[in-house]
Chain A
Amino acid sequence: MSTRLAKGGRLLDKGRALNFTFNGKRLRGHPGDTLASALLANDQMLVGRSFKYHRPRGIVASGAEEPNALVGLGEGARFEPNQRATTTELFDGLTCISQNHWPSLDYDIGAVNTAFARFLPAGFYYKTFIHPRPFWKHVYEPFIRQSAGLGKAPNPGDPDRYEHFYAFCDVLVIGGGVAGLQAALAAAEAGARVMLIEQTAHWGGRAPVDGGEVGGQPTEEWIEATVAKLRDMPNVTLRLRCMGAGVYDHGYALGYERVSDHAPEADAPRHRLWRIRAGQIVTATGAIERPLSFAGNDVPGVMLASAVRDYAVNYGVSAGDRTVVVTNNDDAYRTAITLKQLGLEVPVILDARASGGGALADEARALGIRVENGKAIAKVKGSKRVEGVAICAQAGEGAVLEELKCDAIAMSGGWSPVVHLWSHCGGKLIWDSAQAHFRPDPANPPRGAKGEGFVSAAGAANGASDLAGVLTDADAAGKAAAKAVGHKPKTTAAPKGSQSVEAPMQAVWLMPQGAGIRLRMKSWLDYQNDVKVSDVQLAAREGYESVEHAKRYTTLGMATDQGKLSNINGLAILSDALNQPIPQTGTTTFRPPYTPISLSAIAGSARGEIFQPIRKTPIHDWHEDNGAHFEPVGQWRRPYCFPKGEESHRDAVNREINQTRARLGLLDASTLGKIIVKGPDAGKFLDMLYTNMMSTLKPGKCRYGLMCNENGFLVDDGVVARIDEDTFLCHTTTGGAESIHGHMEDWLQCEWWDWKVYTANVTEQYAQIAVVGPKARETLAKLTTDDLSNEALPFMGWADITLAGMPVRVYRISFSGELSYEIAVAASLGRALWDALLEAGAEHGVTPYGTEGLHVMRAEKGFIMIGDETDGTVIPQDLNMQWAISKKKDDYLGKRAQERSHMTDPNRWKLVGLETLDGSVLPDGAYATAAGHNANGQRNTQGRVTSTYFSPTLGRGIAMGLVHDGPDRIGEVIEFPKVDGGVVKTKIVDPVFYDKDGEKQNV
Chain B
Amino acid sequence: MSDAVTALNGARYEGFATIEDQGLTGMITLRGDLASKEVKAAVKSAIGLAVPAQRQALTGDGAAALWMSPDELLLMCPYDKVGDTIAALEQALKGQHFLAVNVSDARCFMRISGRGAREVLAKVCPVDLSPDAFTPGMFRRTRMAQVPAAFWLDEAGAFHLVCFRSVADYAFDLLKASARPGGEVGLYA
In the complex, are the beta carbons of A275 and B6 less than 8 A apart? no
Which residues of B (126-147) have their CB < 8 Å from a CB of A?
A: 126-130, 132-133, 145-147
Is there a chain A Cβ closer than 8 Å to B104's Cβ?
A: yes
Is there a chain B Cβ closer than 8 Å to A965's Cβ?
A: no
Is there a chain A Cβ closer than 8 Å to B123's Cβ?
A: yes
Provide the A153-171 mask, 1 if CB < 8 A to any CB of B, else 0. 0000000010111111000
Provide the B153-171 mask, 1 if CB < 8 A to any CB of A, else 0. 0000000000011111111
Q: Which of A210-218, A555-563, A755-763 contacts B (4 or more CB under 8 A)?
A: A755-763
Q: Which residue of A lies closest to B169 (CB)?
A: A616
The distance from the CB of A733 to the nearest CB of chain B, in whole angstroms, is 16
In the complex, are the beta carbons of B166 and A272 less than 8 A apart? no
Provide the A603-616 mask, 1 if CB < 8 A to any CB of B, else 0. 01110011011111
Distance between Cα atoms of A614 and B146 in the complex (Å): 10
The distance from the CB of A196 to the nearest CB of chain B, in whole angstroms, is 13
In the complex, are the beta carbons of B4 and A756 less than 8 A apart? no
Choice from B5, B166, B168, B185 contacting A165 with Cβ under 8 Å: B185
In the complex, are the beta carbons of B180 and A760 less than 8 A apart? no
Is there a chain A Cβ closer than 8 Å to B183's Cβ?
A: yes
In the complex, are the beta carbons of B5 and A828 less than 8 A apart? yes
Residues of B within 8 A of A441 (CB): none
Residues of A within 8 A of B183 (CB): 161, 163, 268-269
Q: Given A760-B99, A760-B103, A829-B4, answer yes or no on A269-B167 (Cβ-Cβ < 8 Å).
A: no
Choice from B124, B167, B169, B181 contacting A267 with Cβ under 8 Å: B181
The distance from the CB of B73 to the nearest CB of chain A, in whole angstroms, is 12
Distance between Cα atoms of A537 and B128 in the complex (Å): 52
Interface size on B, residues (CB 8 A): 54
Residues of B within 8 A of A879 (CB): none
Residues of A within 8 A of B3 (CB): 806, 829, 831-832
Q: Given A168-B130, A168-B133, A605-B145, answer yes or no on A828-B177 (Cβ-Cβ < 8 Å).
A: no
In the complex, are the beta carbons of B166 and A828 less than 8 A apart? no
Q: Given A758-B98, A762-B103, answer yes or no on A165-B122 (Cβ-Cβ < 8 Å).
A: yes
Which residues of A (635-663) have their CB < 8 Å from a CB of B?
A: 635-636
When A and B form their complex, what is the total count of cross-chain residue pairs whose Cβ atoms lie within 8 Å?
A: 139
Which residues of B (76-135) have their CB < 8 Å from a CB of A?
A: 97-99, 101-107, 119, 122-130, 132-133
In the complex, are the beta carbons of B99 and A758 less than 8 A apart? yes
Q: Which residue of A lies closest to B180 (CB)?
A: A161
The distance from the CB of A860 to the nearest CB of chain B, in whole angstroms, is 30
Residues of B within 8 A of A164 (CB): 123-124
The distance from the CB of B127 to the nearest CB of chain A, in whole angstroms, is 7
How many chain A residues sit at the interface, stated as a range, is 35 or more
Q: Given A826-B104, A829-B3, answer yes or no on A605-B99 (Cβ-Cβ < 8 Å).
A: no
Provide the A755-773 mask, 1 if CB < 8 A to any CB of B, else 0. 0101110111110000000
Distance between Cα atoms of A606 and B168 in the complex (Å): 16
Distance between Cα atoms of A832 and B1 in the complex (Å): 10
Q: Can you give 19 contacting A-B residue pairs, CB < 8 Å?
A: A163-B178, A164-B123, A193-B130, A193-B132, A277-B128, A605-B124, A605-B174, A612-B146, A615-B164, A680-B97, A758-B99, A759-B99, A760-B29, A762-B101, A762-B106, A763-B106, A764-B107, A764-B166, A832-B3
Is there a chain B Cβ closer than 8 Å to A618's Cβ?
A: yes
Is there a chain B Cβ closer than 8 Å to A237's Cβ?
A: yes
Residues of A within 8 A of B5 (CB): 828, 831-832
Residues of B within 8 A of A615 (CB): 164, 166-167
Q: Given A680-B97, A758-B31, A760-B29, answer yes or no on A827-B106 (Cβ-Cβ < 8 Å).
A: yes
Is there a chain B Cβ closer than 8 Å to A374's Cβ?
A: no
Q: Which residue of A lies closest to B3 (CB)?
A: A832
The distance from the CB of B2 to the nearest CB of chain A, in whole angstroms, is 9
Distance between Cα atoms of A605 and B145 in the complex (Å): 9
Distance between Cα atoms of A617 and B165 in the complex (Å): 8
The distance from the CB of B142 to the nearest CB of chain A, in whole angstroms, is 10
Which residues of A (249-275) have their CB < 8 Å from a CB of B?
A: 266-269, 272, 275
Is there a chain B Cβ closer than 8 Å to A676's Cβ?
A: yes
The distance from the CB of A269 to the nearest CB of chain B, in whole angstroms, is 5
Residues of B within 8 A of A161 (CB): 177, 180, 183
The distance from the CB of B39 to the nearest CB of chain A, in whole angstroms, is 12
Distance between Cα atoms of A42 and B46 in the complex (Å): 78
The distance from the CB of B91 to the nearest CB of chain A, in whole angstroms, is 15
Is there a chain B Cβ closer than 8 Å to A31's Cβ?
A: no
In the complex, are the beta carbons of A828 and B4 less than 8 A apart? yes
Q: Which residue of B lies closest to A615 (CB)?
A: B166
In the complex, are the beta carbons of B122 and A610 less than 8 A apart? no
Is there a chain B Cβ closer than 8 Å to A448's Cβ?
A: no
The distance from the CB of A806 to the nearest CB of chain B, in whole angstroms, is 7
Distance between Cα atoms of A165 and B99 in the complex (Å): 38
Residues of A within 8 A of B75 (CB): none
Is there a chain B Cβ closer than 8 Å to A522's Cβ?
A: no
Q: Which of A163, A275, A680 has the most CB of B within 10 A?
A: A163
In the complex, are the beta carbons of A679 and B97 less than 8 A apart? yes
Residues of B within 8 A of A756 (CB): 97
Given A676-B101, A762-B106, list of 18 further CB < 8 A pairs?
Answer: A166-B123, A167-B122, A168-B133, A267-B182, A268-B183, A606-B146, A613-B171, A616-B166, A617-B166, A636-B166, A678-B99, A679-B97, A758-B98, A758-B99, A760-B103, A762-B103, A764-B166, A831-B3
Is there a chain A Cβ closer than 8 Å to B24's Cβ?
A: yes
Main secondary structure of the interface of B (DSSP, over half): loop
Provide the A130-166 mask, 1 if CB < 8 A to any CB of B, else 0. 0000000000000000000000000000000101111
Q: Which residue of B lies closest to A833 (CB)?
A: B3
Choice from A269, A605, A826 contacting B182 with Cβ under 8 Å: A269
The distance from the CB of A976 to the nearest CB of chain B, in whole angstroms, is 39
In the complex, are the beta carbons of A166 and B125 less than 8 A apart? yes
Which residues of A (173-226) have their CB < 8 Å from a CB of B?
A: 193
Choice from B103, B119, B168, B177 contacting A765 with Cβ under 8 Å: B103
Q: Which residue of B lies closest to A836 (CB)?
A: B3
In the complex, are the beta carbons of A764 and B164 less than 8 A apart? yes
Q: Which residue of A lies closest to B172 (CB)?
A: A610
Distance between Cα atoms of A765 and B1 in the complex (Å): 16
Distance between Cα atoms of A612 and B145 in the complex (Å): 9
Distance between Cα atoms of A165 and B177 in the complex (Å): 13
Residues of A within 8 A of B102 (CB): 765, 826
Distance between Cα atoms of A66 and B11 in the complex (Å): 50
Q: Which of A166, A679, A680 has the most CB of B within 10 A?
A: A166
Is there a chain A Cβ closer than 8 Å to B64's Cβ?
A: no
In the complex, are the beta carbons of B99 and A676 less than 8 A apart? yes
The distance from the CB of A197 to the nearest CB of chain B, in whole angstroms, is 12
Provide the A800-811 mask, 1 if CB < 8 A to any CB of B, else 0. 000000100000
Is there a chain A Cβ closer than 8 Å to B58's Cβ?
A: no
Is there a chain A Cβ closer than 8 Å to B173's Cβ?
A: yes
In the complex, are the beta carbons of A758 and B97 less than 8 A apart? yes
Residues of A within 8 A of B174 (CB): 605, 610
Distance between Cα atoms of A506 and B119 in the complex (Å): 52
Choice from B31, B171, B177 contacting A760 with Cβ under 8 Å: B31
Distance between Cα atoms of A617 and B164 in the complex (Å): 11
Is there a chain A Cβ closer than 8 Å to B7's Cβ?
A: yes
In the complex, are the beta carbons of A605 and B147 less than 8 A apart? no
Distance between Cα atoms of A679 and B97 in the complex (Å): 6
Residues of A within 8 A of B4 (CB): 826, 828-829, 832
Residues of B within 8 A of A617 (CB): 166
In the complex, are the beta carbons of B128 and A168 less than 8 A apart? yes
Residues of A within 8 A of B129 (CB): 166
Residues of B within 8 A of A168 (CB): 128, 130, 133
Q: Which residue of B lies closest to A617 (CB)?
A: B166
In the complex, are the beta carbons of A610 and B185 less than 8 A apart? no
Distance between Cα atoms of A605 and B123 in the complex (Å): 9
Q: Which residue of B lies closest to A828 (CB)?
A: B4
Provide the A664-695 mask, 1 if CB < 8 A to any CB of B, else 0. 00000000000010111000000000000000
Choice from A237, A610, A758 contacting B145 with Cβ under 8 Å: A610
Distance between Cα atoms of A806 and B98 in the complex (Å): 28
In the complex, are the beta carbons of B167 and A613 less than 8 A apart? yes
Distance between Cα atoms of A237 and B102 in the complex (Å): 44
Distance between Cα atoms of A77 and B3 in the complex (Å): 46
